[in-house]
């Protein structure tokens, strides 16, 4: 009888392992709630005191009997007090713990201990935030949610694009009405071009004008030329396009002033000009010069005109999405001034720490360290800023080139015309002949 029961027990155990593996692969959320969460809760509660003491999160209480100052009677040891934590609360793919700080403690100490918590709890990552004074929120992710991000959904509205998925499982949305200008940094094959293709795919069905600035001969944005109202393929053309946009911006100011409003969104529909999204594929091509007088003049013009568009364009329906492999002070003071006007930031894997610092350093130092940890295998993974001023890891949806080109071709008929820019380019072409 005993061998039969033993064989039956082994059969049940094998069946549970097989079923558990299937559930983990096909229903990861179910597997987390049923198995992963209880196990992780045990690790959190069992290891918290030891981790807190080893990483200087605990404070020492002075014994009741002592002499003057910090002199303690021999034989009365100091008693370490670990911070109080809440019971771990389950999230979709992780858990969160609230910690009450002792007097004098700061979140920086917990940020340094994040790696220790990762190893003690055996989770993918631990995020440290401070929702209010005196409290720390530790958010643990059981696995990397960006390895296989699902297709998130988000409400569709004008100038809003569903880019990908956040590490929290939510939708990564680029809303140009909320954050009008964006800076995208990323090395070659980091996912920057994929992100731009995804953005164009999302904006193509909307009644907006897309202006492409691709000074690499149009190799990247030229694929979507049928949906672009204008495409500049060299710096001379870019100067003409920016100059025409500045003139158009001044015309929009006059319309708003005459109507007694402060933005085009307060105008009636019949008076509202079409929104314009300017996509700059490589900012370095606009700012760097070869040393000649003409080249320096063009670079200075691009710098000045781009800065004017960034400073005044948000309320007038002119939005900038500026991308580049290298964003640093070596591009000139104009690049630093422009960076200050681009409130939205996206940083993929970069080749130098200066670019990550330039992209995210003025917003959050912790985001810089996370951006520098992105590996070459994590194509499409980036650190992005949110409208609330925080930051998050995210991954853009992979949009195949043929799909993006087909979408641009499908909506080519609704491409708005920009006559002023067309005339400026025609004049430039006539001068070059």
Question: Mean pLDDT, to the nearest integer, of 59-63?
Answer: 65
pLDDT at position 10 = 54
User: pTM (2 decimals)?
Assistant: 0.78
DSSP reduced 3-state for 369: helix
Residue 159 has, within 13 A of its CA and on its CB side, a CA count of: 22
Lowest mean pLDDT among 25-29, 113-117, 244-248, 398-402: 25-29
- At the topology level, CATH places domain 160-432 in Rossmann fold (3.40.50)
Characterise 267 by phi-psi region: left (phi > 0), alpha (psi -120 to 50), beta (else).
beta
Mean pLDDT of the chain: 84
285 has a pLDDT exceeding 60? yes
pLDDT tens by residue, 333-365: 788 889 889 999 999 999 888 888 888 887 777
395 has a pLDDT exceeding 60? yes
Question: Mean pLDDT, to the nearest integer, of 375-394?
Answer: 84
pLDDT at position 15 = 47
Question: Mean pLDDT, to the nearest integer, of 19-46?
Answer: 74
d(CA 155, CA 160): 9
Q: Which range is most confident: 142-151, 404-413, 417-426?
A: 404-413
73 has a pLDDT exceeding 80? no
d(CA 399, CA 402): 8
pLDDT at position 224 = 93
Q: Name the segment(s) of the chain with CATH classification 3.30.980.
A: 19-61+78-141
pLDDT at position 352 = 85
d(CA 279, CA 199): 10
Q: Name the segment(s) of the chain with CATH classification 3.40.50.300.
A: 160-432
405 has a pLDDT exceeding 50? yes
Question: Mean pLDDT, to the nearest integer, of 230-242?
Answer: 93
* Higher per-residue confidence, 398 vs 88: 88
Q: Tell me whether strands 182-185 and 391-396 are parallel, antiparallel or unpaired.
A: unpaired
Residue 24 has, within 13 A of its CA and on its CB side, a CA count of: 11
DSSP 8-class letter at 223: G
Element (H, E) at 16: helix 2-26
pLDDT tens by residue, 296-328: 888 899 999 999 999 999 999 999 999 998 887
Distance from chain centroid for Cα 345: 6
Residue 390 has, within 13 A of its CA and on its CB side, a CA count of: 10
Which three-class secondary structure string do you get for 63-87? CCCECCCCCECCCCCCEEECCEECC
pLDDT at position 117 = 92
Q: To the nearest whole percent, how much of the chain has pLDDT over 70?
A: 86
387 has a pLDDT exceeding 50? yes
pLDDT at position 203 = 95
pLDDT at position 252 = 94
pLDDT at position 12 = 47
Which residues, in sequence order, are bridge partners of residue 391? 385
Q: To the nearest whole percent, how much of the chain has pLDDT over 90?
A: 39
pLDDT band at 19 (very low <50, low <70, confident <90, very high): very low
DSSP reduced 3-state for 389: coil
pLDDT band at 274 (very low <50, low <70, confident <90, very high): very high
Q: So what's the architecture of 19-61+78-141 in CATH?
A: 2-Layer Sandwich (3.30)
174 has a pLDDT exceeding 70? yes
Q: Which range is most confident: 32-41, 48-57, 236-245?
A: 236-245
Lowest mean pLDDT among 204-208, 313-317, 320-324, 399-403: 399-403
**DSSP string of 37-53, one letter each residue:** HHHHHHHHHHHHHHHHH
224: Cβ contacts below 8 Å, ≥ 6 apart? 197, 200, 204, 210, 212, 404, 405, 408
* Higher per-residue confidence, 156 vs 130: 130
pLDDT tens by residue, 92-110: 778 999 999 888 888 888 8
Contact predicate 310/341, CB 8 Å? yes
Dihedral sign of CA atoms 167, 173, 174, 178 in order: negative
Maximum Cα interatomic distance, the chain, rounded to a whole number of Å: 99
């Amino acid at each position: 009888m005993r061998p039969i029961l033993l064989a039956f027990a082994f059969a049940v155990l094998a069946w549970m392992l097989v079923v558990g593996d299937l559930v983990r692969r096909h229903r990861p959320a179910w597997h987390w709630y049923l198995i992963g969460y209880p196990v992780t809760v045990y690790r959190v509660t069992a290891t918290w005191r030891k981790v807190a003491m080893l990483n200087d999160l605990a404070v020492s209480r002075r014994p009741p009997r002592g002499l003057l100052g910090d002199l303690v009677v021999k034989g009365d040891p100091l008693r370490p007090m670990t911070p109080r934590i809440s019971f771990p609360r389950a999230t979709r793919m992780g858990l969160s713990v609230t910690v009450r700080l002792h007097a004098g403690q700061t979140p920086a100490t917990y940020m340094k201990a994040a790696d220790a918590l990762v190893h003690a709890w055996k989770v993918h990552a631990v995020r440290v935030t401070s929702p209010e004074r005196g409290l720390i929120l530790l958010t643990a992710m059981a696995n990397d949610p960006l390895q296989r991000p699902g297709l998130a959904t988000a409400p569709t509205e004008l100038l809003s694009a569903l880019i990908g998925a956040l590490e929290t499982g939510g939708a990564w949305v680029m809303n140009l009405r909320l954050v009008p200008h964006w800076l995208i940094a990323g090395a070659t094959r980091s996912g920057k071009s994929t992100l731009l293709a995804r953005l164009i795919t999302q904006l193509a069905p909307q009644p907006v004008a897309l202006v492409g600035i691709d000074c690499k001969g149009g190799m990247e944005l030229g694929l979507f030329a049928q949906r672009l109202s204008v495409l500049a393929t060299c710096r001379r053309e870019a100067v003409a396009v920016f100059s025409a946009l500045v003139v158009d911006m001044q015309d929009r100011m006059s319309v708003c002033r005459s109507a007694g409003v402060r933005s085009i969104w307060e105008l009636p529909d019949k008076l509202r000009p079409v929104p314009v999204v300017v996509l700059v594929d490589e900012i370095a091509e606009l700012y760097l010069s070869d040393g000649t007088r003409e080249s320096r003049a063009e670079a200075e013009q691009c710098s000045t005109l781009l800065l004017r568009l960034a400073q005044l364009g948000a309320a007038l329906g002119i939005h900038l999405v500026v991308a580049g492999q290298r964003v640093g002070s070596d591009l000139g003071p104009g690049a630093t001034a422009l960076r200050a006007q681009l409130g939205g930031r996206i940083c993929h894997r970069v080749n130098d720490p200066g670019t990550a610092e330039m992209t995210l350093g003025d917003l959050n130092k912790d985001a810089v360290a996370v951006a520098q940890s992105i590996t070459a295998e994590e194509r499409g993974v980036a650190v992005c800023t949110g409208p609330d001023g925080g930051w998050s890891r995210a991954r853009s949806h992979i949009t195949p080139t043929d799909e993006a080109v087909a979408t641009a071709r499908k909506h080519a008929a609704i491409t708005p015309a920009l006559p002023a820019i067309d005339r400026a380019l025609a004049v430039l072409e006539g001068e070059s002949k």
